[in-house]
Amino acid sequence: NAGVTQTPKFRVLKTGQSMTLLCAQDMNHEYMYWYRQDPGMGLRLIHYSVGEGTTAKGEVPDGYNVSRLKKQNFLLGLESAAPSQTSVYFCASSYSGRSYEQYFGPGTRLTVT
Amino acid sequence: GQQLNQSPQSMFIQEGEDVSMNCTSSSIFNTWLWYKQDPGEGPVLLIALYKAGELTSNGRLTAQFGITRKDSFLNISASIPSDVGIYFCAGQPGGTSYGKLTFGQGTILTVHP
């Protein structure tokens, strides 16, 4: 049981490049989330999904897109990376009965130059 | 959006000392949670609180859901070196659903042996 896994762990992009971050969970959780963590600002919700095929915007969705084609996977895409998207990205999941008890992945550190 | 004010921002203590930190909001929260983040890893859930006035323990950790529903407290007794990390409070604001959480800025805890 690996829990929540994220790939890649580190990535450096040039401004304007695109990339996709992959999150996978093996706990059969219905809900999945993408957060970003910046120094002194805690975690902020980017997008979330309450089930396969559904997505919704969180607090800071601009510049990001997501897809949830399979229940166990949640993808975060950056179409045209900007330096302001330099951050640590965390994926989390929870089951619907206890949706606030979220399990986090190890994070992806992204630097945009 | 909703804001959570977490204090103190950082703490430097000696091993064996007790620790207290708190989180406050200007509006009511229906759920309070406390997470711990070790360096280079994702947050891990420590305690979840669902009722005003609730007091819950997890080993040496004790957390309380404030009666006003606008605050929460976390105490760590007899600290040890492995308590080092960042502690985050998180809450579900009234009127929200689907596991959407607001996070505090975090308290950085350093324990000197």
Top pLDDT among A40 and B83 is at: B83
Cross-chain residue pair A104–B4, CB shorter than 8 Å: no
Q: Which two tokens stand for residue B20?
A: 């207290």
Split at pLDDT 50, 70, 90, the class of A16 is: very high
Degrees, nearest 5: CA angle B93-B97-B98: 130
How close does chain B come to A93, measured CA to CA in Å? Answer: 10
Residue B72 reports pLDDT greater than 70: yes
- Predicted confidence (pLDDT) at residue A99 exceeds the cutoff of 90: no
pLDDT average, residue stretch B47-62: 95
Nearest CA in chain B to A42: B105
Contact yes or no for B62/B78 (Cβ under 8 A): no
Query: How many helices (H) does chain B have, and how many strands (E)?
Result: 0, 11
pLDDT, position A98: 77
Residues whose CB falls within 8 Å of the CB of residue A97, separated by 6 or more in sequence, listed in order: none
Tell me the Cα Rg of chain A: 13
Q: With CB atoms and an 8 Å threshold, state whether B103 touches A42.
A: yes
Distance CA A72, CA A23 (A): 8
Taking the CA atoms of residue B76, residue B9, residue A60 and residue A56 in that order, the dihedral angle to the nearest 10 degrees is 10
Closest CA to A112 of A89, A81, A88, A71: A81
pLDDT band (50, 70, 90) for residue B100 = confident
Question: What is the rounded distance in angstroms from the CA atom of residue B109 to the CA atom of residue B101?
Answer: 22
pLDDT of residue B93: 78
* pLDDT number for residue A77: 98
Distance, CA of A27 to CA of A4 (rounded, Å): 8
Return the pLDDT at A112. 97
Per-residue pLDDT tens over the stretch A21-80 = 999 999 999 999 999 999 877 899 999 999 999 999 999 999 999 999 999 999 999 999
CA B98 to chain centre: 21
User: Which tokens hold the place of B26?
Assistant: 């200007």
CA nearest to A104 within chain B = B42
Report the DSSP beta bridge partners of residue B10: B108
Alpha-carbon torsion, ordered A28, A29, A33, A39, to 10 deg: -90
Residue B1 has pLDDT above 60, yes or no: no
Hey, what are A99's tokens?
A: 């949706």
Judge: A101–B105 Cβ closer than 8 Å, yes or no. no
- B33 interfaces chain A, CB cutoff of 8 Å: yes
Phi, psi of B103 (to 5 degrees): -105, 145
Predicted local confidence at residue A84, as pLDDT: 96
* Residue in A45, A100, A105 nearest the CB of B31: A100
Greater confidence (B100 vs A89) lies with: A89
Please tell me the distance from the alpha carbon of residue A5 to that of residue A78, in angstroms, as a whole number: 19
